A and B are shown apart, each in its own frame.
Chain A
Amino acid sequence: MLAYVLRRIGQSVLVLLVTGLVAFSMFRFVGDPVDNMLGQERTQADVERLRDRLGLDEPFAVQYWSFLTNAARGDFGLSYRQGRPVAEIIAERLPATLELAAVSAVLAVVLGVAFGIYAAIRRGGWLANAIMTASLIGVSLPTFLIGILLIWIFSVELGWLPSYGRGEVVDLGWWSTGFLTASGLKALILPAITLGLYQMTLIMRLVRSEMMEALGQDFVRFARARGLPERAVTLRHALRNVAVPVITVTGLQLGSIIAFAIITETVFQWPGVGLLFINAVQFVDIPIMAAYLMGISVMFVGINLVVDLSYLAIDPRLRAGAGGRT
């Protein structure tokens, strides 16, 4: 079991080192960092000083290492465009994205699993069929079109909900939240639906197909033959057995939510990290792109690790076999 955990952690570190290399190469080789940071009016002495400070004359490996250690401390240098520390800019934007992502994720997981189970149990029923048809549309619609459609209906035509921004936010020290005001909550509704819908349909379709497979298995049949109540059969036996694939995909989807927030934040002008990133891409603000990439990869790797470890909690066969090869 320890070997299994260690192997997973090793893989995670590898992924981080590779993305770190990509981020560093972006920083080092896309354009000249000195040019980008100093602007037009500069002396040769300024250039030398900055080159020295950035360590640009050191060997590649040394530079890579100092990039990594700085990154680990959250130091990604200055934004080319805003001239402020990247970490500071991101810290301002992070609460908006995390709140949006959290609400979307809860929406996607809770509704996705519930609808998926329902569609599997009531296979062929009209409501189950309606859910499945709707999900097909949900999968084919590009996210930004869903957002625009929602704005059109609920902001333009009905005028019920705001179409952009976060509404009023309350500052709690280093965190700003939209959860505490009515306008903040209202502003959250459309973006959260936009962001969560796609993941919800994916989770739902997965839960449905896995559940249907599980419900046809012998142990479910035997559970029925033992006279267990239907609820115990579906929730205690079938659902538990589909937990591993469902958690795998759900974990990945949660990571994607943060990445897909880029699109939703653009549609709704939501002042989060995604909007920051897309602006950075537009203006080739490499330090912010590099920091975003590193942040996202840390998160993905963390989620993957948690997912892997959660298998151990669910499946006794893995717990027993995890020491050796599984």
Chain B
Amino acid sequence: MSAPDPVPPALELRNLRVDIPTRRGTLRAVDDVSFAIAPGEILGVVGESGAGKSMTGNAVIGLLDPPARIAGGEVHLNGRRIDTLGRGALRRIRGAEIGMVFQDPTSSLDPLLTIGDQLVETMRAHLDISGKAARARAVAALEEVGIPGARDRIDSYPFQFSGGMRQRVVIALALCAEPSLVIADEPTTALDVSVQAQIIALLKRLCAERGTAVMLVTHDMGVIAETADRVLVMYAGRMAELGPVREVIDRARHPYTAGLMASTPAASRGARRLYQIPGAMPRLTDLPEGCPFHPRCPKAQEDCRRVPRPTLAADGGRAACLHPLDPERGAEDVARAAEGTAR
């Protein structure tokens, strides 16, 4: 029942919840996640491994590994609800309206088929075109992602490309049916540092040209800082902070975000020593009472332990924290406080 907007967001999540039923009870891998991505916007999603970033992405395209399943909330794509669609309808959306880029291009591509075959089969699954036309478009798509000599290399196998080139092929595959949203799940993590920036720049340029919205999942704050318009910080399956990228980086309000910034070389330019957030993210099996971050939080107070977990509403839609940081002092505040508690 969404209010009819003039331009609906490319992707909108409303209170998304993903459960994993196990023998010892149900784990809530993604809890109460809501955000929207406007057409052409890039939303960065950051957090430690296991924070629920990838799980959120998989839930959107309907490819959760069983027994994980969407247990609540809604997913809207361009104003149309898609989490209730049947398997066949969802299959037609994948690739056509939502493109996906995975972490490791080496294992993402089928080693036994040429890249041309894989491009053509993807286009023909979604577009009503002949094999010949699809092949011509495949060459164009490869040229666009910067594969030199695309016309000759279209019949090459994935193993004949370098890692960076393979990821370009993966991007071509993700975009070849002109989707309105791309979910890129750690697209540079498996690549050499030297080509990471090229791949991010390529992704950013192609999506900007097409007006494609991007959900960029990564744990690399540096990538987010250079690429994203807005950023969502996730912690233990929950939203910790959501806001415009410069705001969040320069004036973090959630102590976790501040800690994350202080521990990233690129984002915390001033800091002499990298900060470490004490402890580790709790396992989903034993989440603490109250705010899930409080055992590691240098600013935790008595009520953080007691009061049921806060939502973004606790800080006017910005940070899920009962005692958000003073925006002007940000990270240093946290670092200092952390050093105090560590001693």
Contact B121 A219 (CB under 8 A): no
Residues of A within 8 A of B112 (CB): 240-241, 314-316
Measured in the bound complex, the distance between the Cα atoms of B107 and A241 in whole Å is 12
- B125 contacts the other chain (CB 8 A): yes
Residue of B whose beta carbon sits closest to that of A219: B110
Closest beta carbon of chain A to B5's beta carbon, Å:
26
Measured in the bound complex, the distance between the Cα atoms of B118 and A237 in whole Å is 10
Contact B125 A226 (CB under 8 A): yes
- B94 contacts the other chain (CB 8 A): yes
- B336 contacts the other chain (CB 8 A): no
Chain B contributes a number of interface residues (CB within 8 A of A) equal to 30
Of A217, A219, A226, A229, the contact of B100 (CB 8 Å cutoff): A226
Measured in the bound complex, the distance between the Cα atoms of B26 and A130 in whole Å is 29
Of B104, B107, B113, B122, the contact of A226 (CB 8 Å cutoff): B122
Residues of A within 8 A of B309 (CB): none
Residues of B within 8 A of A182 (CB): none
Measured in the bound complex, the distance between the Cα atoms of B101 and A221 in whole Å is 11
B142-175 near A? 1/0 per residue, CB < 8 Å: 0000000000000001011000000000100110
Segment 210-244 of A: residues with Cβ below 8 Å from B = 217-219, 221-230, 232, 236-237, 240-241
Segment 270-326 of A: residues with Cβ below 8 Å from B = 314-317, 320
Residues of B within 8 A of A230 (CB): 91
Contact B121 A232 (CB under 8 A): yes
Closest beta carbon of chain B to A65's beta carbon, Å:
45
- B109 contacts the other chain (CB 8 A): yes
Contact A226 B102 (CB under 8 A): no
Most interface-central of B108, B125, B173 (chain A CB within 10 A)? B108
Contact A226 B95 (CB under 8 A): yes
Measured in the bound complex, the distance between the Cα atoms of B114 and A236 in whole Å is 13
Residues of A within 8 A of B173 (CB): 222, 226
Contact A227 B125 (CB under 8 A): yes
Residues of B within 8 A of A236 (CB): 113, 121
Contact B125 A222 (CB under 8 A): no
Give the size range of A's interface with the partner: 20 to 34
Contact A225 B63 (CB under 8 A): yes
Measured in the bound complex, the distance between the Cα atoms of B61 and A47 in whole Å is 86
Measured in the bound complex, the distance between the Cα atoms of B157 and A316 in whole Å is 7
Closest beta carbon of chain A to B98's beta carbon, Å:
8
Residue of B whose beta carbon sits closest to that of A241: B112
Contact B111 A219 (CB under 8 A): yes
- B45 contacts the other chain (CB 8 A): no
Most interface-central of B111, B126, B173 (chain A CB within 10 A)? B111
Measured in the bound complex, the distance between the Cα atoms of B107 and A226 in whole Å is 15
Residue of A whose beta carbon sits closest to that of B100: A225
Of B93, B111, B113, B126, the contact of A317 (CB 8 Å cutoff): B111
Of A221, A224, A227, A241, the contact of B111 (CB 8 Å cutoff): A241
Residue of B whose beta carbon sits closest to that of A238: B110
Residues of B within 8 A of A317 (CB): 111, 157, 159
Residues of A within 8 A of B111 (CB): 219, 241, 315-317
Query: Would you list 16 pairs from A and B whose C-beta atoms are within 8 A, ordered by A residue?
Result: A218-B102, A221-B63, A221-B102, A222-B109, A222-B173, A225-B94, A225-B102, A226-B174, A227-B94, A228-B95, A228-B125, A229-B125, A316-B111, A316-B159, A317-B111, A320-B160
The 10 closest A-B pairs by CB, nearest first: A227-B95, A225-B100, A218-B107, A227-B94, A226-B95, A222-B108, A316-B157, A219-B110, A226-B122, A237-B110
Q: A224-B63, A225-B94 are in contact. List 13 more A-B contacts (CB 8 A).
A: A219-B111, A222-B102, A222-B109, A223-B110, A226-B94, A226-B173, A228-B91, A229-B125, A236-B113, A236-B121, A240-B110, A316-B157, A320-B159
